[in-house]
Structure 1
Amino acid sequence: MRARQAIYGFLLLACCVAWTAALAAGTETQAAAAGKVHSSAEAQLLAVLNLAQKGDYDSAINDLSDLIEARPNFRLAQLVYGELMVARTGRSIDPAISEKMRDQRDALLDEAKSRWAHRVSAATDGKVPDVILQLSPEYDHVVVVDLSNNRLYLFENEQGVPRLLSDFYTTIGRGGAGKQVEGDMRTPIGIYHITRYIDDNRLPEIYGVGALPVNYPNALDRLHGRTGYGIWLHGVPRTTYSRTPRASEGCVVIANDDFESIREQVTIGKTPVIMTTGLNWVSAAEVEQQRSDMLAAIESWRHSWQAIDTKSYLAYYAPSFISDKGLDKEDFAIEKKRINATKTKIEVDLSDISIMRYPGEDRMMKVMFNQAYTSNNYHAEDRKVQYWRQSDDGDWQIVLETEQD
């Protein structure tokens, strides 16, 4: 009994009970049924925790010994091993440990809690994250980082719908989520894209096997006055397998093996990276309804522009609208009225439309598409990024429009 009491504090009893109940019922997470890939080291650790919860310390310790031999730098596994050894004797962890050691242990326990909570989380099979409404063919994959739960998801674009391929434990900034100013040690909330790949040979050891920088601050961040730079997705020093949940200066950090898995799937200059707090999994039908509503608004905006109905066209721009040239709604309207007065014909074709719900903002969508504009005296093809917000009366309006995000 004392052994169980000693280990339950570490194993986070509530989580363990939920997972064991699922096992007893002969169920499996639907995400696993969908073929989702986890880090093998994490899967081994979770299996050990399950054995320990059942009181099978000998098997747990033997399996953990194999894991530590393969991953000697996995500090959480080392901690679990030590506490399992103590628990098997029926003793409690020495309460007289130093404050520094206690802080380190608490940080590792937070890592264990994060990994375990994900393992027992609700199943997601047949559901999709509501942050992704539509993906154009140009995006093979999408990275979504749930900052609140220290989880990175890799999705494949399957005919415009995200299909979950894999997910990994991740570390975020010491200041938490929601970057505002340089030096606040926070990880930004928003939608970005990977700008380049920096290989191991060009990086200090702290970044591990490589880095994938993202384009923070984007146009919306700059509009809100957010500052800072150097937000990367990167690996860990080879002296450790993973870092504790909040340990970076704002970057998203994952195990080196996991980083390599993701790097092989991303496209430089293309792959979106959505950083959010919490991930809402909904039915495909619910997303389809939201997607249809958004596409209808985009089409009405396009049609009014093409019809040279300047009044209707400008109604799609919010009073707070700012253009990529820095024009507010009033100056933008003057400019558009002047231009449209010279037009006898306008054709606007949109292609490769992607729609994503913008995290951290109230009722906002980020829309990206290729635009071909032809009039009686001008032709241009551009890449457009628009930020749409739904008003209190339910109408969608553009608050920011840019060609370079």
Structure 2
Amino acid sequence: MRNLHARTCVLIACCLWSLFAIAGAEAAAADARVHSNAESQLLAVLNLAQQGEYDTAINDLSDLIEARPNFRLAQLVYGELMVARSGRSIEPAISDQMRDQREALLDEAKTRWAHRVSAATDGKVPAAILQMAPEYEHAIVVDLANNRLYLFANEQGVPRLVSDFYTTIGRGGAGKQVEGDMRTPIGIYHITRYINDNGLPELYGVGALPVNYPNALDRARGRTGYGIWLHGVPRTTYSRTPRASEGCVVIANDDFESIRDHVNVGTTPVLLTTGIDWVPAADVEKRRTEVLSAVESWRHSWQAIDTKSYLTYYSPDFVSDDGRDKPAFAAYKKQVNASKTDISVDLNNISIFRYPGEDRMVKVTFNQNYTSNNYQAEDRKTQYWQQSEDGDWQIVLETERD
């Protein structure tokens, strides 16, 4: 049984990208994180096949298929192993359509195998999450380049990885620009509502979590489109191939249900990015402190009614959510501050995220309590800060809660 046709090795070792270091990684990954059980079973089967335990692999895969008859990738691997064990060619005479479907499923297998766990288990954190306010109990980060969704818990402002799952993205890839381009957006969003399967076509599976694309930055950049959701799959399939949606983020129904209870409508941030930079916590702390210092200096200038200094924190390219550019905004602020004799500005519940797809930009959100001699207001504010080449941080966009 160990003398399988040589092409089997191509399927298992090359087509599946020779990623069988999973055996060693499984021990490192045996922590509190939650993975898709079906995916874990499939990867274990492939690991057995790589070790030459073909009979055990086929038997275990048979059990998986019995439990998950709609898991098409598992069925493909089962069929290929059975053909290879018989000594026949791994490339049967099939139609072009079936060959395309097979290649798409093999891409799914490669993607699942390529998922690395070491960076997430050695004390590193995602560089994109600099600080999470207490209201954000969890955060979702989707690595569009590697088809992986990560769920993080908020532990005193620091993200802790809870679970990760294979995901499908848009047929056009990442970086949505216009309606109909079939791309998944890159950016930071939040869940706007939960739709259960009673109100959905079967395409969306057990439920959907729409996000607020396009956000204020998207609109400022001229991006169009709508209807970007995180949702499940039809019950006739366990998962979809890596690029198969119209721009949504799609995960298995089991995986959707496992994260649904961790989502708070209106607050849970969803970061859609291409690649995750796992860094030591000290690196995040350094950047967090740097950004907080800029925000505090901005607040202090405003509170001191130092309008000239205050306006230096706004980029020449600044635009407000009501359409004011920098000159119009400056004129407005000078007029408002002319009547002020006393200003107090308190900020709390500050969250800071690096903005994916933008050069040296962070998204800062906070609750703002403003009191002056003739006005008082409590607001939720979002600011997009960008670092210039000389290291200064300036606000490029400011809006009410986005």
The two structures have a TM-score, normalised by structure 2, of: 0.97
Letter of the 1:333 counterpart: A
Letter of the 2:100 counterpart: D
1:396 corresponds in structure 2 to: 393
Q: Deviations over 1:273-301 (max 9, x none)?
A: 00000000000000000000000000000
Instruction: Give 1:122 deviation, angstroms.
Output: 4.5
1:5 corresponds in structure 2 to: 6
Instruction: Give 1:404 deviation, angstroms.
Output: 3.5
Q: Are 1:154 and 1:164, in contact at CA under 8 Å, matched by a contact in 2?
A: yes
Alpha-carbon distance in structure 1 between the residues aligned to 2:25 and 2:336: 63
Q: 2:174 is matched with which residue: 159, 173, 177?
A: 177
Q: Does the alignment pair 1:346 with 2:343? A: yes
Q: Does the alignment pair 1:147 with 2:159? A: no
2:380 corresponds in structure 1 to: 383
Alpha-carbon distance in structure 2 between the residues aligned to 1:123 and 1:4: 37
Give the CA RMSD over aligned residues. Answer: 1.5
Secondary structure at the counterpart of residue 89 of structure 2: coil
How much identity, in percent, do the aligned residues show?
A: 76
Alpha-carbon distance in structure 1 between the residues aligned to 2:354 and 2:381: 16
Give the number of equivalent residue pairs: 401
For structure 2, the 5+ residue unaligned runs are: none
Letter of the 1:127 counterpart: K
Letter of the 1:399 counterpart: V
Q: Does the alignment pair 1:110 with 2:107? A: yes
Q: Deviations over 1:7-63 (max 9, x none)?
A: 22222449775534x74xx66464x24421110000000000001111211000000
Q: Does the alignment pair 1:321 with 2:318? A: yes
The two structures have a TM-score, normalised by structure 1, of: 0.96
Instruction: Give 1:121 deviation, angstroms.
Output: 6.0
Q: 1:373 is matched with which residue: 367, 370, 374?
A: 370
Q: Does the alignment pair 1:65 with 2:62? A: yes
Q: Does the alignment pair 1:157 with 2:144? A: no
Alpha-carbon distance in structure 2 between the residues aligned to 1:250 and 1:372: 38
Q: Are 2:80 and 2:90, in contact at CA under 8 Å, matched by a contact in 1?
A: yes
Q: Does the alignment pair 1:286 with 2:287? A: no
Letter of the 1:275 counterpart: L
Letter of the 1:114 counterpart: T
Alpha-carbon distance in structure 1 between the residues aligned to 2:61 and 2:311: 64
2:224 corresponds in structure 1 to: 227
Q: Are 2:33 and 2:163, in contact at CA under 8 Å, matched by a contact in 1?
A: yes
Secondary structure at the counterpart of residue 20 of structure 2: helix
1:48 corresponds in structure 2 to: 45
Letter of the 1:115 counterpart: R
Alpha-carbon distance in structure 2 between the residues aligned to 1:404 and 1:126: 32
Q: Are 1:111 and 1:244, in contact at CA under 8 Å, matched by a contact in 2?
A: yes
Alpha-carbon distance change, 364 to 4 in structure 1, aligned in 2, over 3 angstroms: farther
Alpha-carbon distance in structure 1 between the residues aligned to 2:99 and 2:16: 22
Alpha-carbon distance in structure 2 between the residues aligned to 1:118 and 1:16: 11
Runs of 4+ in 1 over 4 A off after TM superposition: 14-18, 26-29, 119-123
Secondary structure at the counterpart of residue 148 of structure 1: coil
Secondary structure at the counterpart of residue 313 of structure 1: helix
Secondary structure at the counterpart of residue 380 of structure 1: strand
2:295 corresponds in structure 1 to: 298
**Quick check: 50-59 or 11-20, which moved more?**
11-20
Q: 2:91 is matched with which residue: 71, 82, 94?
A: 94
For structure 1, the 5+ residue unaligned runs are: none
1:262 corresponds in structure 2 to: 259
